[in-house]
A and B are shown apart, each in its own frame.
Chain A
Amino acid sequence: MALVEQVERVGKARWWLQAFLVMVYRQTIRFLRARSRMFNALVMPLVWFTFFGLGWSSTFDRLGPIAKTLFGGLNYLEYLAPGIVLMSAFVGGFASGLTLLFDREFGYLKELLVAPASRTATILGRMLGDSLAATLQAVIMLAVLAVAVGYTNPVALSIVVLLALVTAFMASAIGTTIALMMSSPEGFHGIVNLVIMPLIFLSGIFYPIKTLQQPLAILAVLDPLTHPVQLARWAMYNVVEEPVTLAITGTLAYTILFTTTAIAKYGRTYIA
Protein backbone atom coordinates (compact mmCIF):
# COMPACT_ATOMS: atom_id res chain seq x y z
CA MET A 1 0.00 0.00 0.00
CA ALA A 2 1.20 3.48 -0.74
CA LEU A 3 0.11 6.24 1.61
CA VAL A 4 2.04 8.75 -0.42
CA GLU A 5 0.93 8.50 -4.02
CA GLN A 6 -0.20 10.67 -6.87
CA VAL A 7 -3.98 11.15 -6.79
CA GLU A 8 -5.77 13.28 -9.35
CA ARG A 9 -8.48 15.72 -8.35
CA VAL A 10 -11.64 15.66 -10.43
CA GLY A 11 -12.48 18.70 -12.61
CA LYS A 12 -13.89 21.89 -11.08
CA ALA A 13 -17.51 21.36 -12.17
CA ARG A 14 -17.48 17.70 -11.17
CA TRP A 15 -15.96 18.59 -7.80
CA TRP A 16 -18.69 21.19 -7.16
CA LEU A 17 -21.38 18.69 -8.05
CA GLN A 18 -19.98 15.87 -5.93
CA ALA A 19 -19.49 18.13 -2.89
CA PHE A 20 -23.12 19.21 -3.32
CA LEU A 21 -24.43 15.67 -3.74
CA VAL A 22 -22.43 14.19 -0.90
CA MET A 23 -23.94 16.77 1.45
CA VAL A 24 -27.44 15.92 0.21
CA TYR A 25 -26.61 12.28 0.91
CA ARG A 26 -25.17 13.00 4.33
CA GLN A 27 -28.11 15.11 5.52
CA THR A 28 -30.70 12.60 4.32
CA ILE A 29 -29.08 9.52 5.85
CA ARG A 30 -28.54 11.37 9.11
CA PHE A 31 -32.24 12.19 9.09
CA LEU A 32 -33.28 8.64 8.30
CA ARG A 33 -31.15 7.39 11.19
CA ALA A 34 -32.67 9.85 13.65
CA ARG A 35 -36.24 8.61 13.88
CA SER A 36 -37.13 11.10 16.59
CA ARG A 37 -36.67 14.03 14.19
CA MET A 38 -39.28 12.61 11.85
CA PHE A 39 -41.62 12.21 14.78
CA ASN A 40 -41.08 15.77 16.02
CA ALA A 41 -41.86 17.43 12.72
CA LEU A 42 -45.02 15.39 12.24
CA VAL A 43 -46.40 15.86 15.70
CA MET A 44 -46.88 19.63 15.75
CA PRO A 45 -48.92 19.94 12.52
CA LEU A 46 -50.91 16.83 13.34
CA VAL A 47 -51.76 18.15 16.79
CA TRP A 48 -52.93 21.43 15.27
CA PHE A 49 -55.01 19.69 12.65
CA THR A 50 -56.62 17.33 15.12
CA PHE A 51 -57.16 19.33 18.26
CA PHE A 52 -57.46 22.79 16.76
CA GLY A 53 -58.98 21.88 13.38
CA LEU A 54 -61.49 19.28 14.49
CA GLY A 55 -62.57 21.48 17.37
CA TRP A 56 -63.26 24.55 15.29
CA SER A 57 -64.63 22.46 12.45
CA SER A 58 -67.53 21.22 14.56
CA THR A 59 -68.09 24.75 15.88
CA PHE A 60 -68.20 26.19 12.37
CA ASP A 61 -70.52 23.40 11.25
CA ARG A 62 -73.10 24.63 13.75
CA LEU A 63 -73.14 28.01 11.96
CA GLY A 64 -74.32 26.21 8.85
CA PRO A 65 -73.66 27.42 5.30
CA ILE A 66 -72.53 30.92 6.44
CA ALA A 67 -69.34 29.37 7.75
CA LYS A 68 -68.48 27.99 4.35
CA THR A 69 -68.57 31.45 2.81
CA LEU A 70 -65.84 32.47 5.26
CA PHE A 71 -63.58 29.77 3.87
CA GLY A 72 -64.22 30.17 0.16
CA GLY A 73 -66.87 27.50 0.10
CA LEU A 74 -64.76 24.89 1.89
CA ASN A 75 -65.47 23.25 5.18
CA TYR A 76 -62.88 24.11 7.83
CA LEU A 77 -60.88 20.89 7.63
CA GLU A 78 -60.56 21.23 3.86
CA TYR A 79 -59.50 24.84 4.33
CA LEU A 80 -56.88 23.76 6.85
CA ALA A 81 -55.41 20.70 5.09
CA PRO A 82 -53.15 22.31 2.38
CA GLY A 83 -51.65 24.75 4.88
CA ILE A 84 -50.99 22.06 7.47
CA VAL A 85 -49.02 20.07 4.89
CA LEU A 86 -46.85 23.09 4.16
CA MET A 87 -46.56 23.79 7.86
CA SER A 88 -44.91 20.43 8.36
CA ALA A 89 -42.56 21.15 5.45
CA PHE A 90 -41.78 24.56 6.91
CA VAL A 91 -41.12 23.32 10.44
CA GLY A 92 -39.09 20.37 9.14
CA GLY A 93 -37.04 22.57 6.83
CA PHE A 94 -36.36 25.10 9.54
CA ALA A 95 -34.76 22.32 11.61
CA SER A 96 -31.92 22.43 9.07
CA GLY A 97 -30.55 25.31 11.16
CA LEU A 98 -30.60 23.07 14.19
CA THR A 99 -28.56 20.38 12.41
CA LEU A 100 -25.97 23.04 11.61
CA LEU A 101 -25.79 24.14 15.23
CA PHE A 102 -25.34 20.56 16.37
CA ASP A 103 -22.62 20.05 13.78
CA ARG A 104 -20.84 23.01 15.30
CA GLU A 105 -21.41 21.64 18.80
CA PHE A 106 -19.93 18.25 17.85
CA GLY A 107 -17.06 19.76 15.87
CA TYR A 108 -18.09 18.50 12.45
CA LEU A 109 -18.70 21.99 11.07
CA LYS A 110 -14.97 22.65 11.43
CA GLU A 111 -14.23 19.64 9.23
CA LEU A 112 -16.56 21.07 6.57
CA LEU A 113 -15.27 24.62 6.80
CA VAL A 114 -11.62 23.63 6.49
CA ALA A 115 -12.35 21.52 3.39
CA PRO A 116 -11.25 22.98 0.06
CA ALA A 117 -14.67 22.42 -1.58
CA SER A 118 -16.93 25.26 -2.65
CA ARG A 119 -18.88 26.41 0.39
CA THR A 120 -21.79 27.31 -1.86
CA ALA A 121 -21.91 23.68 -2.97
CA THR A 122 -21.77 22.27 0.56
CA ILE A 123 -24.36 24.62 2.06
CA LEU A 124 -26.76 24.16 -0.86
CA GLY A 125 -26.35 20.39 -0.62
CA ARG A 126 -26.96 20.51 3.08
CA MET A 127 -30.10 22.63 2.65
CA LEU A 128 -31.45 20.41 -0.12
CA GLY A 129 -30.79 17.25 1.91
CA ASP A 130 -32.67 18.65 4.90
CA SER A 131 -35.44 19.89 2.59
CA LEU A 132 -35.89 16.43 1.08
CA ALA A 133 -36.22 15.06 4.59
CA ALA A 134 -38.81 17.71 5.43
CA THR A 135 -40.64 17.00 2.18
CA LEU A 136 -40.86 13.37 3.15
CA GLN A 137 -42.59 14.45 6.36
CA ALA A 138 -44.93 16.67 4.37
CA VAL A 139 -45.79 13.79 2.04
CA ILE A 140 -46.70 11.60 4.98
CA MET A 141 -48.81 14.44 6.34
CA LEU A 142 -50.42 14.94 2.94
CA ALA A 143 -51.33 11.26 2.72
CA VAL A 144 -52.95 11.35 6.15
CA LEU A 145 -54.88 14.56 5.48
CA ALA A 146 -55.98 13.56 1.98
CA VAL A 147 -57.61 10.52 3.55
CA ALA A 148 -59.08 12.64 6.35
CA VAL A 149 -60.76 15.11 4.00
CA GLY A 150 -61.33 12.62 1.17
CA TYR A 151 -59.18 14.30 -1.48
CA THR A 152 -57.95 12.35 -4.53
CA ASN A 153 -56.84 14.60 -7.44
CA PRO A 154 -53.31 13.29 -8.18
CA VAL A 155 -52.19 16.33 -10.20
CA ALA A 156 -53.07 18.75 -7.42
CA LEU A 157 -51.42 16.50 -4.85
CA SER A 158 -48.21 16.43 -6.92
CA ILE A 159 -48.21 20.22 -7.07
CA VAL A 160 -48.58 20.36 -3.29
CA VAL A 161 -45.59 18.01 -2.92
CA LEU A 162 -43.54 20.33 -5.12
CA LEU A 163 -44.69 23.32 -3.08
CA ALA A 164 -43.70 21.44 0.08
CA LEU A 165 -40.19 21.01 -1.30
CA VAL A 166 -39.88 24.70 -2.15
CA THR A 167 -41.29 25.71 1.23
CA ALA A 168 -38.93 23.35 3.04
CA PHE A 169 -35.98 24.76 1.11
CA MET A 170 -36.99 28.32 1.92
CA ALA A 171 -37.38 27.41 5.59
CA SER A 172 -34.00 25.65 5.66
CA ALA A 173 -32.40 28.81 4.23
CA ILE A 174 -34.04 30.90 6.97
CA GLY A 175 -33.06 28.37 9.64
CA THR A 176 -29.49 28.16 8.36
CA THR A 177 -29.08 31.92 8.30
CA ILE A 178 -30.40 32.25 11.84
CA ALA A 179 -28.21 29.36 13.03
CA LEU A 180 -25.12 31.00 11.57
CA MET A 181 -25.86 34.08 13.66
CA MET A 182 -26.24 32.08 16.88
CA SER A 183 -23.71 30.61 19.24
CA SER A 184 -25.54 27.68 20.83
CA PRO A 185 -28.32 25.19 20.03
CA GLU A 186 -30.16 26.15 23.23
CA GLY A 187 -31.21 29.54 21.93
CA PHE A 188 -32.60 28.07 18.74
CA HIS A 189 -35.78 26.81 20.39
CA GLY A 190 -36.51 30.32 21.57
CA ILE A 191 -36.16 31.54 18.00
CA VAL A 192 -38.54 28.85 16.83
CA ASN A 193 -41.24 30.31 19.04
CA LEU A 194 -40.36 33.90 18.25
CA VAL A 195 -40.08 33.56 14.47
CA ILE A 196 -41.79 30.39 13.36
CA MET A 197 -45.07 30.62 15.25
CA PRO A 198 -45.97 34.17 14.05
CA LEU A 199 -44.99 33.24 10.48
CA ILE A 200 -47.24 30.19 10.63
CA PHE A 201 -50.22 32.01 12.14
CA LEU A 202 -50.03 34.94 9.73
CA SER A 203 -49.69 32.79 6.64
CA GLY A 204 -53.37 32.09 6.29
CA ILE A 205 -53.15 28.45 7.26
CA PHE A 206 -55.72 28.83 10.04
CA TYR A 207 -57.80 31.83 9.05
CA PRO A 208 -58.43 33.92 5.92
CA ILE A 209 -55.95 36.75 5.47
CA LYS A 210 -58.11 38.92 3.23
CA THR A 211 -60.34 39.90 6.16
CA LEU A 212 -57.39 40.90 8.36
CA GLN A 213 -57.13 44.47 9.70
CA GLN A 214 -54.04 46.64 9.20
CA PRO A 215 -51.19 46.25 9.99
CA LEU A 216 -51.73 42.50 10.14
CA ALA A 217 -52.88 42.40 6.50
CA ILE A 218 -49.58 43.94 5.37
CA LEU A 219 -47.61 41.60 7.61
CA ALA A 220 -49.48 38.64 6.12
CA VAL A 221 -48.36 39.61 2.62
CA LEU A 222 -44.81 40.10 3.88
CA ASP A 223 -44.87 36.65 5.52
CA PRO A 224 -42.87 34.34 3.22
CA LEU A 225 -45.01 31.33 4.15
CA THR A 226 -48.24 33.03 3.01
CA HIS A 227 -47.53 32.60 -0.69
CA PRO A 228 -46.90 28.85 -0.91
CA VAL A 229 -49.87 28.28 1.41
CA GLN A 230 -52.13 30.25 -0.93
CA LEU A 231 -50.77 28.31 -3.90
CA ALA A 232 -51.38 24.97 -2.23
CA ARG A 233 -54.98 25.82 -1.45
CA TRP A 234 -55.40 27.15 -4.98
CA ALA A 235 -53.99 23.91 -6.43
CA MET A 236 -56.25 21.71 -4.34
CA TYR A 237 -59.51 23.70 -4.18
CA ASN A 238 -59.10 26.67 -6.47
CA VAL A 239 -59.44 28.92 -3.40
CA VAL A 240 -56.92 31.72 -3.18
CA GLU A 241 -56.92 35.05 -1.32
CA GLU A 242 -54.30 36.92 -3.33
CA PRO A 243 -53.47 37.07 -7.05
CA VAL A 244 -51.88 33.80 -8.12
CA THR A 245 -49.06 35.65 -9.85
CA LEU A 246 -48.27 37.42 -6.56
CA ALA A 247 -48.31 34.05 -4.77
CA ILE A 248 -45.90 32.53 -7.31
CA THR A 249 -43.63 35.58 -7.37
CA GLY A 250 -43.62 35.82 -3.57
CA THR A 251 -42.74 32.16 -3.14
CA LEU A 252 -39.85 32.27 -5.61
CA ALA A 253 -38.56 35.70 -4.55
CA TYR A 254 -38.40 34.78 -0.87
CA THR A 255 -36.79 31.42 -1.61
CA ILE A 256 -34.08 33.07 -3.72
CA LEU A 257 -33.59 35.88 -1.20
CA PHE A 258 -33.11 33.61 1.80
CA THR A 259 -30.98 31.14 -0.14
CA THR A 260 -28.59 33.89 -1.24
CA THR A 261 -28.46 35.22 2.32
CA ALA A 262 -27.61 31.79 3.69
CA ILE A 263 -24.91 31.23 1.05
CA ALA A 264 -23.35 34.63 1.73
CA LYS A 265 -23.45 34.12 5.48
CA TYR A 266 -21.93 30.62 5.25
CA GLY A 267 -19.22 31.84 2.90
CA ARG A 268 -18.12 34.39 5.47
CA THR A 269 -18.27 32.05 8.46
CA TYR A 270 -15.02 31.86 10.40
CA ILE A 271 -13.67 28.47 11.19
CA ALA A 272 -12.21 28.92 14.64
Chain B
Amino acid sequence: MVDVIVAENLVKRYGDFEAVKGVSFRVRRGEVYGFLGPNGAGKTTTLGMLTTVIKPTSGDALVAGYSVSREPWKVRERIGVVFQEPTVDRELTAMENLLVHGLIHGLSRRDVERRARELLEFVGLEKFARMQVKRFSGGMVRRLEIARALINVPEVLFLDEPTTGLDPQSRAKVWDVIRALKREGVTVFLTTHYMDEAEKLCDRIAIIDRGVIVAEGSPEELKKMVGSDLVYIEFEGDPARLTARLSEYGEARLLRNNTLVLKVRDAPSLLPELLKAVEGVGVRVKSVRYSRPSLDDVFLHLTGRSLRDVEADWREALRMRIRARMR
Protein backbone atom coordinates (compact mmCIF):
# COMPACT_ATOMS: atom_id res chain seq x y z
CA MET B 1 0.00 0.00 0.00
CA VAL B 2 1.61 3.19 -1.17
CA ASP B 3 -1.06 5.68 -0.16
CA VAL B 4 -1.46 6.12 3.59
CA ILE B 5 -4.39 8.49 3.18
CA VAL B 6 -6.96 8.26 0.43
CA ALA B 7 -9.65 10.90 0.85
CA GLU B 8 -12.62 10.76 -1.45
CA ASN B 9 -15.07 13.59 -1.72
CA LEU B 10 -15.10 14.44 2.00
CA VAL B 11 -17.89 16.82 2.91
CA LYS B 12 -18.71 18.38 6.28
CA ARG B 13 -21.80 20.48 6.68
CA TYR B 14 -22.82 22.35 9.82
CA GLY B 15 -26.44 23.34 9.25
CA ASP B 16 -26.41 25.60 6.21
CA PHE B 17 -22.68 26.13 6.36
CA GLU B 18 -20.54 23.82 4.31
CA ALA B 19 -17.10 23.85 5.95
CA VAL B 20 -15.58 21.27 3.61
CA LYS B 21 -17.13 20.96 0.16
CA GLY B 22 -15.91 17.66 -1.16
CA VAL B 23 -12.12 17.26 -1.00
CA SER B 24 -10.22 14.34 -2.53
CA PHE B 25 -6.51 13.69 -2.27
CA ARG B 26 -3.93 11.03 -1.59
CA VAL B 27 -0.93 11.07 0.74
CA ARG B 28 1.94 8.71 -0.08
CA ARG B 29 3.90 6.77 2.48
CA GLY B 30 6.91 8.70 3.75
CA GLU B 31 5.96 12.13 2.46
CA VAL B 32 5.15 15.34 4.28
CA TYR B 33 1.83 16.56 2.94
CA GLY B 34 0.54 20.00 3.81
CA PHE B 35 -2.85 21.64 3.78
CA LEU B 36 -2.20 25.33 3.20
CA GLY B 37 -4.94 27.88 3.45
CA PRO B 38 -6.27 30.81 5.44
CA ASN B 39 -8.06 30.33 8.75
CA GLY B 40 -11.58 29.07 8.24
CA ALA B 41 -10.70 27.40 4.93
CA GLY B 42 -11.62 23.94 6.24
CA LYS B 43 -8.15 22.64 7.15
CA THR B 44 -8.88 21.66 10.73
CA THR B 45 -12.27 20.22 9.81
CA THR B 46 -10.62 18.00 7.20
CA LEU B 47 -7.97 16.93 9.68
CA GLY B 48 -10.74 16.23 12.18
CA MET B 49 -12.47 13.91 9.73
CA LEU B 50 -9.22 12.10 8.93
CA THR B 51 -8.48 11.57 12.63
CA THR B 52 -12.05 10.30 13.38
CA VAL B 53 -12.78 13.25 15.63
CA ILE B 54 -15.41 14.66 13.25
CA LYS B 55 -17.89 12.48 11.36
CA PRO B 56 -18.01 13.31 7.64
CA THR B 57 -21.43 14.42 6.36
CA SER B 58 -20.66 12.47 3.20
CA GLY B 59 -17.68 10.96 1.46
CA ASP B 60 -15.07 8.83 3.18
CA ALA B 61 -11.34 8.46 3.66
CA LEU B 62 -9.09 5.48 4.09
CA VAL B 63 -6.38 6.16 6.64
CA ALA B 64 -3.73 3.43 7.00
CA GLY B 65 -6.09 1.24 5.01
CA TYR B 66 -9.21 1.68 7.18
CA SER B 67 -12.33 3.74 6.65
CA VAL B 68 -12.60 6.68 9.04
CA SER B 69 -16.39 6.43 9.12
CA ARG B 70 -16.80 2.66 9.36
CA GLU B 71 -13.71 1.56 11.32
CA PRO B 72 -12.65 4.57 13.40
CA TRP B 73 -11.10 2.34 16.10
CA LYS B 74 -8.78 0.70 13.60
CA VAL B 75 -7.77 4.13 12.36
CA ARG B 76 -7.13 5.40 15.90
CA GLU B 77 -4.71 2.55 16.54
CA ARG B 78 -2.64 3.56 13.54
CA ILE B 79 -2.40 7.33 13.74
CA GLY B 80 -0.74 9.96 15.91
CA VAL B 81 -2.42 13.33 16.34
CA VAL B 82 -1.21 16.69 17.62
CA PHE B 83 -4.22 18.97 17.86
CA GLN B 84 -4.08 22.71 17.53
CA GLU B 85 -4.80 23.28 21.22
CA PRO B 86 -2.57 21.46 23.72
CA THR B 87 -3.97 18.17 25.09
CA VAL B 88 -1.21 17.30 27.56
CA ASP B 89 -1.72 16.42 31.20
CA ARG B 90 -0.18 19.45 32.87
CA GLU B 91 0.04 17.90 36.33
CA LEU B 92 2.06 14.92 35.11
CA THR B 93 5.71 14.97 34.09
CA ALA B 94 6.79 14.67 30.47
CA MET B 95 7.76 11.04 30.97
CA GLU B 96 4.48 10.22 32.72
CA ASN B 97 2.53 11.76 29.84
CA LEU B 98 4.31 9.46 27.40
CA LEU B 99 3.87 6.37 29.60
CA VAL B 100 0.14 6.92 30.11
CA HIS B 101 -0.33 7.47 26.38
CA GLY B 102 1.64 4.40 25.37
CA LEU B 103 -0.12 2.10 27.84
CA ILE B 104 -3.55 3.38 26.84
CA HIS B 105 -2.56 2.71 23.25
CA GLY B 106 -1.91 -0.92 24.07
CA LEU B 107 1.89 -1.12 23.94
CA SER B 108 3.79 -3.28 26.39
CA ARG B 109 5.39 -1.48 29.29
CA ARG B 110 8.87 -2.38 28.05
CA ASP B 111 8.25 -0.94 24.59
CA VAL B 112 6.61 2.18 25.99
CA GLU B 113 9.50 2.94 28.32
CA ARG B 114 12.09 2.39 25.63
CA ARG B 115 10.30 4.48 23.02
CA ALA B 116 9.47 7.21 25.54
CA ARG B 117 13.17 7.66 26.32
CA GLU B 118 14.14 7.59 22.64
CA LEU B 119 11.44 10.04 21.63
CA LEU B 120 12.17 12.53 24.41
CA GLU B 121 15.72 12.57 23.14
CA PHE B 122 14.51 12.87 19.56
CA VAL B 123 12.56 16.06 20.34
CA GLY B 124 15.31 17.37 22.62
CA LEU B 125 13.43 17.13 25.91
CA GLU B 126 15.41 14.36 27.60
CA LYS B 127 16.61 16.78 30.30
CA PHE B 128 13.01 17.64 31.18
CA ALA B 129 11.65 14.10 31.43
CA ARG B 130 10.87 14.48 35.12
CA MET B 131 9.53 18.01 35.00
CA GLN B 132 5.81 18.66 35.36
CA VAL B 133 4.39 19.81 32.03
CA LYS B 134 2.77 22.87 33.59
CA ARG B 135 6.26 24.36 33.81
CA PHE B 136 6.91 23.83 30.06
CA SER B 137 6.92 26.63 27.47
CA GLY B 138 4.53 26.48 24.54
CA GLY B 139 7.22 25.19 22.22
CA MET B 140 8.27 22.45 24.65
CA VAL B 141 4.65 21.34 25.00
CA ARG B 142 4.33 21.12 21.23
CA ARG B 143 7.48 19.01 20.92
CA LEU B 144 6.33 16.79 23.78
CA GLU B 145 3.03 16.27 21.98
CA ILE B 146 4.85 15.27 18.82
CA ALA B 147 6.88 12.74 20.82
CA ARG B 148 3.72 11.46 22.48
CA ALA B 149 1.91 11.07 19.16
CA LEU B 150 4.80 8.94 17.91
CA ILE B 151 4.88 6.50 20.85
CA ASN B 152 2.51 4.03 19.23
CA VAL B 153 4.47 4.04 15.93
CA PRO B 154 1.69 5.62 13.87
CA GLU B 155 1.54 5.07 10.14
CA VAL B 156 0.79 8.75 9.75
CA LEU B 157 1.32 11.69 12.06
CA PHE B 158 -1.25 14.50 11.95
CA LEU B 159 -0.12 17.97 12.98
CA ASP B 160 -2.76 20.70 13.14
CA GLU B 161 -1.08 24.11 12.83
CA PRO B 162 2.08 22.86 14.57
CA THR B 163 3.72 26.25 15.02
CA THR B 164 0.79 28.62 15.45
CA GLY B 165 1.29 30.77 18.52
CA LEU B 166 4.96 29.91 18.97
CA ASP B 167 7.82 32.38 19.11
CA PRO B 168 10.33 32.25 16.22
CA GLN B 169 12.90 30.17 18.12
CA SER B 170 10.37 27.56 19.20
CA ARG B 171 9.03 27.50 15.65
CA ALA B 172 12.47 26.75 14.28
CA LYS B 173 12.86 23.91 16.76
CA VAL B 174 9.51 22.37 15.79
CA TRP B 175 10.56 22.68 12.14
CA ASP B 176 13.78 20.83 12.91
CA VAL B 177 11.75 18.04 14.50
CA ILE B 178 9.47 17.77 11.46
CA ARG B 179 12.47 17.69 9.10
CA ALA B 180 14.00 14.92 11.21
CA LEU B 181 10.72 13.01 11.03
CA LYS B 182 10.90 13.23 7.28
CA ARG B 183 14.44 11.82 7.31
CA GLU B 184 13.20 8.96 9.48
CA GLY B 185 10.55 8.16 6.93
CA VAL B 186 7.52 9.14 9.04
CA THR B 187 4.49 10.13 6.97
CA VAL B 188 3.21 13.53 8.08
CA PHE B 189 -0.03 15.34 7.31
CA LEU B 190 0.06 18.93 8.50
CA THR B 191 -2.09 21.99 8.20
CA THR B 192 -0.74 25.51 8.23
CA HIS B 193 -1.59 29.01 7.21
CA TYR B 194 2.09 29.97 7.01
CA MET B 195 3.39 29.92 3.45
CA ASP B 196 7.01 29.67 4.50
CA GLU B 197 6.20 26.69 6.69
CA ALA B 198 4.44 24.82 3.90
CA GLU B 199 7.22 25.63 1.49
CA LYS B 200 10.05 24.62 3.81
CA LEU B 201 8.58 21.41 5.14
CA CYS B 202 6.19 19.87 2.63
CA ASP B 203 6.89 17.53 -0.26
CA ARG B 204 3.45 18.24 -1.58
CA ILE B 205 0.91 20.89 -0.73
CA ALA B 206 -2.83 21.17 -1.23
CA ILE B 207 -3.99 24.76 -1.28
CA ILE B 208 -7.43 24.93 0.30
CA ASP B 209 -9.80 27.86 0.22
CA ARG B 210 -13.43 28.03 1.34
CA GLY B 211 -13.66 24.27 1.73
CA VAL B 212 -12.25 23.39 -1.69
CA ILE B 213 -8.80 22.25 -2.79
CA VAL B 214 -7.87 24.80 -5.45
CA ALA B 215 -4.48 23.33 -6.34
CA GLU B 216 -2.19 20.49 -5.38
CA GLY B 217 1.45 19.73 -6.05
CA SER B 218 5.01 20.19 -4.88
CA PRO B 219 5.92 23.76 -3.98
CA GLU B 220 7.84 23.94 -7.28
CA GLU B 221 4.92 22.69 -9.32
CA LEU B 222 2.55 25.09 -7.65
CA LYS B 223 4.79 28.03 -8.39
CA LYS B 224 5.06 27.01 -11.99
CA MET B 225 1.31 27.44 -12.22
CA VAL B 226 1.85 31.15 -11.84
CA GLY B 227 3.98 30.83 -14.93
CA SER B 228 7.03 32.86 -14.56
CA ASP B 229 10.31 33.18 -12.78
CA LEU B 230 12.08 36.48 -13.19
CA VAL B 231 15.74 36.51 -14.32
CA TYR B 232 17.68 39.72 -13.65
CA ILE B 233 20.80 40.19 -15.76
CA GLU B 234 23.09 43.10 -14.97
CA PHE B 235 25.40 43.85 -17.92
CA GLU B 236 27.75 46.26 -19.69
CA GLY B 237 27.34 46.80 -23.39
CA ASP B 238 24.66 47.22 -26.04
CA PRO B 239 21.21 46.72 -24.57
CA ALA B 240 19.40 46.46 -27.91
CA ARG B 241 21.19 43.37 -29.14
CA LEU B 242 20.91 41.65 -25.79
CA THR B 243 17.19 42.36 -25.59
CA ALA B 244 16.66 41.11 -29.10
CA ARG B 245 18.58 37.91 -28.42
CA LEU B 246 16.91 37.05 -25.11
CA SER B 247 13.37 37.86 -26.26
CA GLU B 248 13.41 34.43 -27.83
CA TYR B 249 13.22 32.95 -24.33
CA GLY B 250 10.50 35.08 -22.85
CA GLU B 251 9.20 38.56 -22.29
CA ALA B 252 12.26 40.83 -21.81
CA ARG B 253 12.19 44.26 -20.26
CA LEU B 254 15.03 46.72 -19.72
CA LEU B 255 15.42 48.37 -16.33
CA ARG B 256 17.21 51.70 -15.88
CA ASN B 257 20.39 50.50 -14.19
CA ASN B 258 21.65 48.37 -17.05
CA THR B 259 19.62 45.43 -15.93
CA LEU B 260 17.44 43.27 -18.07
CA VAL B 261 14.45 41.37 -16.65
CA LEU B 262 13.39 38.24 -18.40
CA LYS B 263 10.14 36.39 -17.60
CA VAL B 264 10.74 32.68 -18.05
CA ARG B 265 8.96 29.50 -17.08
CA ASP B 266 11.71 27.72 -15.17
CA ALA B 267 14.73 29.88 -14.42
CA PRO B 268 17.12 27.33 -12.81
CA SER B 269 17.02 24.90 -15.72
CA LEU B 270 17.15 27.62 -18.35
CA LEU B 271 20.00 29.60 -16.82
CA PRO B 272 22.93 27.73 -18.45
CA GLU B 273 21.38 28.14 -21.86
CA LEU B 274 20.70 31.83 -21.30
CA LEU B 275 24.32 32.47 -20.33
CA LYS B 276 25.54 30.71 -23.46
CA ALA B 277 23.18 32.75 -25.59
CA VAL B 278 24.45 35.99 -24.07
CA GLU B 279 28.06 35.14 -24.97
CA GLY B 280 27.40 35.68 -28.67
CA VAL B 281 25.99 39.24 -28.41
CA GLY B 282 29.06 41.06 -27.18
CA VAL B 283 28.00 42.24 -23.76
CA ARG B 284 29.72 41.58 -20.49
CA VAL B 285 27.49 40.04 -17.85
CA LYS B 286 28.21 41.46 -14.41
CA SER B 287 25.70 39.52 -12.37
CA VAL B 288 22.73 37.23 -12.75
CA ARG B 289 20.02 36.48 -10.27
CA TYR B 290 16.51 35.21 -10.45
CA SER B 291 13.44 35.31 -8.25
CA ARG B 292 10.64 32.81 -8.08
CA PRO B 293 6.99 33.40 -7.36
CA SER B 294 6.01 32.80 -3.74
CA LEU B 295 3.15 30.58 -2.65
CA ASP B 296 1.31 33.77 -1.88
CA ASP B 297 1.54 34.61 -5.59
CA VAL B 298 0.10 31.18 -6.27
CA PHE B 299 -2.79 31.74 -3.90
CA LEU B 300 -3.40 35.13 -5.47
CA HIS B 301 -3.29 33.60 -8.93
CA LEU B 302 -5.79 30.87 -8.01
CA THR B 303 -8.27 32.73 -5.86
CA GLY B 304 -7.81 36.33 -6.88
CA ARG B 305 -7.04 37.14 -3.23
CA SER B 306 -3.77 37.32 -1.36
CA LEU B 307 -3.30 34.88 1.51
CA ARG B 308 -1.98 37.73 3.63
CA ASP B 309 -5.09 39.81 2.98
CA VAL B 310 -7.43 36.92 3.74
CA GLU B 311 -5.52 36.39 6.96
CA ALA B 312 -5.82 40.06 7.88
CA ASP B 313 -9.54 40.07 7.09
CA TRP B 314 -10.03 37.02 9.22
CA ARG B 315 -8.21 38.56 12.15
CA GLU B 316 -10.27 41.68 11.81
CA ALA B 317 -13.50 39.65 11.75
CA LEU B 318 -12.35 37.75 14.83
CA ARG B 319 -11.55 40.97 16.65
CA MET B 320 -14.98 42.35 15.83
CA ARG B 321 -16.63 39.17 17.07
CA ILE B 322 -14.68 39.23 20.33
CA ARG B 323 -15.49 42.87 20.84
CA ALA B 324 -19.16 42.21 20.14
CA ARG B 325 -19.18 39.44 22.70
CA MET B 326 -17.49 41.58 25.34
CA ARG B 327 -20.18 44.23 25.14
Which A residues have a C-beta under 8 Å from some C-beta of B?
1-10, 15, 18-19, 21-23, 25-26, 29-30, 33-34, 106-108, 110-112, 114-117, 122, 271-272
Q: Does B255 contact A (CB under 8 A)?
A: no
How many cross-chain pairs have Cβ atoms below 8 Å apart between A and B?
A: 102
Q: Which of A30, A33, A107, A114 interacts with B53 by CB under 8 Å?
A: A114
* Sample (20) of A-B pairs whose CB atoms are under 8 Å apart: A1-B121, A1-B122, A3-B119, A4-B184, A9-B106, A10-B106, A10-B107, A15-B106, A19-B106, A21-B103, A22-B99, A22-B103, A25-B100, A26-B89, A26-B100, A29-B96, A33-B91, A108-B88, A111-B89, A271-B53
Once A108-B87, A111-B87, A114-B76 are accepted as A-B contacts, the answer to whether A26 and B92 lie under 8 Å apart by CB is: yes
- Give the total of B residues in contact with A, Cβ under 8 Å: 43
Q: Is the CB of A116 within 8 A of B153?
A: no
Q: Does B150 contact A (CB under 8 A)?
A: yes
Q: Quick one: closest A residue to B91, CB to CB?
A: A30
Q: Which of A2, A4, A7, A115 interacts with B104 by CB under 8 Å?
A: A115
Q: Is the CB of B54 within 8 A of A272?
A: yes
Q: Does B105 contact A (CB under 8 A)?
A: yes
Q: Is the CB of A8 within 8 A of B83?
A: no
- 6 A-B pairs with least C-beta separation: A107-B87, A116-B76, A111-B87, A15-B106, A3-B184, A9-B106
Q: Which of B96, B100, B108, B184 interacts with A8 by CB under 8 Å?
A: B108
Q: Is the CB of A18 within 8 A of B85?
A: no
Q: Is the CB of A111 within 8 A of B101?
A: yes
Q: Is the CB of A117 within 8 A of B81?
A: no
Complex Cα gap A271–B48 (Å):
10
Q: Is the CB of B92 within 8 A of A107?
A: no
Q: Does B86 contact A (CB under 8 A)?
A: yes
Nearest CB on B from A113, distance (A):
8
Q: Is the CB of B105 within 8 A of A116?
A: yes
Q: Is the CB of A34 within 8 A of B91?
A: yes
> A107 — which chain B residues lie within 8 A by C-beta?
83, 85-88
> B106 — which chain A residues lie within 8 A by C-beta?
9-10, 15, 18-19, 116-117
